[in-house]
Amino acid sequence: MAQNPALAADHRVRLLQGAQELFPALVEAMDAALSDIQFETYIFDFTGSGASVAEALERAARRGVRTQLVVDGVGTGALPDGWARRFASAGVQVRVYSPLGPLGLLLPQRWRRLHRKLCVVDGCVLFCGGINVLDDLHDPNHGALAAPRFDFAVRATGSLVALASDTMDQLWWRMQALRDMRERRLPEALQALRAASAARHAADEVAQQGPAMRAALLLRDNVRHRSRIEKAYRRAIGGARHEVIIANAYFMPGGKLRRALLLAARRGVRVRLLLQGRYEYFMQYHAARPVYGALLAAGVEIHEYAPSFLHAKVAVVDALGERPWATVGSSNLDPLSLLLAREANVVVEDAAFAADLRERLVQAMQQAGRRMEPARYAGRPLGQRVLDQVAYALMRLALWVTGKRY
């Protein structure tokens, strides 16, 4: 069973855990940049180590590197005044994806967010994963954390970098065109749309090159790649022979993905899930729990991570077998990611990479996870079960409002 037809064999991919490993690698690449930096993130927070990334962007722009930053209108919003002035003075170009406006999230179309975390430097190196520009020991809503956030990213070189760069170019020029049209600068808007179309064509050509072997960049959008990431997960789980390990922050899989996990467990594959054990957001925390019952009954192991917030969106399948498969990215296994948001995951078929990721996940489950026993799940207090069902119903209602099936 082929794992993914887009895989190509010309890549070098390195796993990075947490901002403590990602940020120094990002800063090193930005400080060596010669021509351009493209950066997209959901959250850009300047507290603590997040400032080191901002300072690297500022330094690059001051020495003449074309520096483009896109942040999400919900995750980040407008930049702090001081940093906005510093970026403008240095020449860092900043765009805000889908600003909320006066009605905020009351408009369902505003639920489509830029959730991917991508950075391309000089068209040669890509950083992709689930890690925002956010200090490991700081949370905007909860303050200081006692332990670092659990999350991953990758540093990659190879043909997938061009696809990421062209995709980011396409979004940048579309946003530029929208801004020009709002300001009634129609000639500039048409020029920006032509640039976006050219970027899309280039991305299509890159995506079709190379044999199906080692690594690929999977993108999810609301036009042409609506289910690409979910299908990759289902394909890998469906082909699993020995083991599936998934770490996911906001876990509410749809029917097809749930069935893939259940079937894997029933045919003897050891399926382990490392999920959020600390309360972060009402909807994501409680809406996940009603799906636990069937999984536990089929023999799926569920481990809840408690020392800090689990923010990872990674998986590894048959890491010690003949066909190892792993993915690291921004996509949660919930309807917000799989149906609405722009997401990006890197898929890798490499024994050493898969074994490295597996070791870190197993260590987290053994040392920092609390296994959910079926009896403990069934014995949840009535109040918690009510909240779980309310959150689940609200999530289903939100999907109905968007017209999506999941």
pLDDT digit string (tens) for 275-287? 999 988 898 899 9
**Better pLDDT: 225 or 164:** 164
- When pLDDT is averaged across residues 218-240 and rounded to a whole number, the result is 93
Q: What's the pLDDT band for 402 if we cut at 50, 70, 90?
A: confident
Q: What is the mean pLDDT of the chain?
A: 89
Tell me the mean pLDDT in the region 247-266. Answer: 96
The superfamily CATH assigns to domain 12-207 is Endonuclease Chain A (3.30.870.10)
pLDDT 10s digits, 335-368: 989 999 999 999 999 999 999 999 999 999 999 9
Number of other CB atoms surrounding residue 169 within 10 Å: 21
Please indicate whether the domains covering 12-207 and 215-402 agree at the CATH topology level. yes
Distance CA 119, CA 129 (A): 10
Q: Which of 138, 169, 313, 388 is catalytic?
A: 313
- The pLDDT tens digits of the residues spanning 71-110 come to 999 999 889 999 999 999 999 999 999 998 888 887 777 8
Beta bridge partners of 97: 72
Could you give the percent of the chain with pLDDT greater than 90? 77
Residue 231 known to be catalytic? no
pLDDT score recorded for residue 110:
83
Do 154 and 53 meet the contact criterion of CB atoms below 8 Å apart? no
Annotation marks residue 318 as catalytic: yes
- Catalytic pick among 72, 166, 318, 334: 318
Question: Which entry of 122, 221, 225, 231 is annotated as an active-site residue?
Answer: 122
The residue among 275 and 400 whose pLDDT is bigger is 275
Third-level CATH fold of 215-402: Endonuclease; Chain A (3.30.870)
Of 11, 45, 72, 117, the catalytic one is 117
- Tell me the average pLDDT across 278-299: 92
11 is catalytic: no
Report the pLDDT averaged over residues 225-247. Answer: 96
Quick check: pTM over 0.85? yes
Residues 6+ apart with CB under 8 A from 220: 226, 227, 228, 229, 331, 337, 338, 341, 342, 343, 344
Q: Choose between 225 and 52: higher pLDDT.
A: 52
Residue 154 to residue 371: CA distance in whole angstroms? 28
In this structure, the number of other CB atoms found within 10 A of the CB of residue 13 comes to: 22
User: Running DSSP on this structure, what letter comes out for residue 106?
Assistant: G
Told to judge if 311 belongs to the known catalytic residues of this protein, a careful annotator would answer yes
- Could you say which of 45, 72, 115, 388 is catalytic? 115
Task: Delimit the domains of the chain by residue range.
Answer: 12-207, 215-402
Indicate if the pLDDT at residue 192 is higher than 70: no
Interval 116-123 mean pLDDT = 97
Give the per-residue SS3 of 287-316.
HHHHHHHHHHHCCCEEEEECCCCECCEEEE
